[in-house]
Chains A and B, each alone.
Chain A
């Protein structure tokens, strides 16, 4: 299976900080990479698809980049509602696989 490795696994930051999360695929996946946000007890929420396309309704402080094996999710200025868990997912080949998640909490 395609392995997706996220780093860091957890991150403490403050409101207003710029935060970057990385995701690495075990093989090249072009831009078949998607990012999600999940809060406890809620449905996951699609943020970024195709590595860099912002999902409708998602604030512009979220951005994604990368292709091949290395990808990043950046939050330009953290807001209180952004403290959550983030995970990446590859859609290049089935079984689709996810990163293990990055938990972002308040410093």
Chain B
């Protein structure tokens, strides 16, 4: 059974880079049926899709992040990562990783519990 676990610093200073990792057990980041995505939920707000990486390493991002996000993968460690540069308080959120089906209707069937990231000096 697939499990996803987010990890990374819980506190990041303004203007610095947020780095998170999602570790997989029970599947592979090179599985061609799926994409691997990141979402976030700021306090008191709804979910926001950050982006995804597919089995070949192809990526797509939410334009709202203005090029600050990078999703990568490490096939040897079977994990994928999120980097978000130049963070501000608005990036404070619970960050979730998830597995998505890379075909209609692009649903996400397994999610991590999420990790809280606070941006503060």
Expressed in whole angstroms, the Cα–Cα distance for A100 and B41 within the complex equals 10
**Interface presence of B46 (CB below 8 A):** yes
For window 54-107 of A, CB contacts with B under 8 Å fall at: 55, 87, 89, 91-92, 94-101
Using CB atoms, name the residue of chain B closest to A96.
Answer: B49
A interface majority secondary structure: loop
Interface size on B, residues (CB 8 A): 28
Complex Cα distance, B40 from A95, in Å, reads: 13
Answer whether residue B60 sits at the interface, using C-beta atoms and an 8 A cutoff.
Answer: yes
Q: Mark B88-111, 1 if CB is under 8 A from A, else 0.
A: 000000001010110011111111
> Which chain B positions have C-beta within 8 A of A22?
none
Q: Does B25 contact A (CB under 8 A)?
A: no
> How many residues of A sit at the interface, in one of the four size bands?
20 to 34
**Chain A CB within 10 Å — which of B49, B60, B98, B105 has the most?**
B105
CB of B11 closer than 8 Å to a CB of A: no
Q: Which residues of A contact B98 (CB under 8 A)?
A: 44
Given the complex, which residues of A lie within 8 Å of B47, measured CB to CB? 44, 87, 89, 98, 101
Chain B minimum-CB-distance residue to A44: B111
Interface string of A1-43 (1 = CB under 8 A from B): 1000000000000000000000000000001111010000111
**Known contacts A41-B113, A94-B60: A99-B46 contact under CB 8 Å:** yes
Contacts of B100 in A (CB 8 A): 91
User: Is B108 in contact with A32, judged by CB distance below 8 angstroms?
Assistant: no
Whether B104 lies near A50 (C-beta < 8 A) is yes
CB distance from B27 to the nearest CB of A (A): 15
Q: A87-B46, A94-B60 are in contact. Are A43 and B96 (CB under 8 A)?
A: yes
Residues 46-81 of chain B, each 1 if its beta carbon lies under 8 Å from chain A, else 0: 111100100000001111100000000000000000
Residues of A in contact with B (beta carbons under 8 Å apart): 1, 31-34, 36, 41-46, 49-51, 55, 87, 89, 91-92, 94-101
